[in-house]
Amino acid sequence: MKRLENKIALVTGGSRGMGAAIVQQLAAEGATVAFTYNKGAEKAASVAAELTGKGQRSLAIAADSADPSAVVAAVDKTVAEFGRIDILVNNAGIAVMKPFEDYTLEEYNQTMDINARAVFVGSQAAAKHMGKGARIITIGSCMADRVSGPYGTLYAMSKSALTAFNKGLSRDLGPRGITVNLVQPGPIDTDMNPADGAHADAQRKNISLGEYGKVEDIASLVTFLASPESGYITGTAITIDGGTNS
Q: How many domains is the chain partitioned into structurally?
A: 1
What pLDDT digit, counting tens, does each position of 50-98 carry? Answer: 999 999 999 999 999 999 999 999 999 999 999 999 999 999 999 999 9
β strands within 163-232, DSSP E: 179-185
What pLDDT digit, counting tens, does each position of 141-155 carry? Answer: 999 999 989 999 999
- Is residue 78 included in any domain, yes or no? yes
Cα 51 to Cα 4, 44, 91: the distances in Å are 15, 11, 19
Instruction: Give the separation between CA 149 and CA 156, rounded to whole angstroms.
Output: 11
What pLDDT digit, counting tens, does each position of 10-51 carry? Answer: 999 999 999 999 999 999 999 999 999 998 899 999 999 999
- Is residue 246 included in any domain, yes or no? no
- Is residue 168 included in any domain, yes or no? yes
pLDDT above 90 (res 213):
yes
For the annotated catalytic residues, the residue numbers are 155
- Is residue 214 included in any domain, yes or no? yes
- Is residue 2 included in any domain, yes or no? no
Any idea what the CATH number is for the domain that residue 64 is in? Answer: 3.40.50.720
- Is residue 107 included in any domain, yes or no? yes
Say which DSSP state 135 is in. Answer: E
- Is residue 1 included in any domain, yes or no? no
Domain residues for the domain of 57 are 8-240
Instruction: Give the separation between CA 36 and CA 194, rounded to whole angstroms.
Output: 22
* Whether this model's pTM surpasses 0.95: yes
pLDDT above 90 (res 1):
no
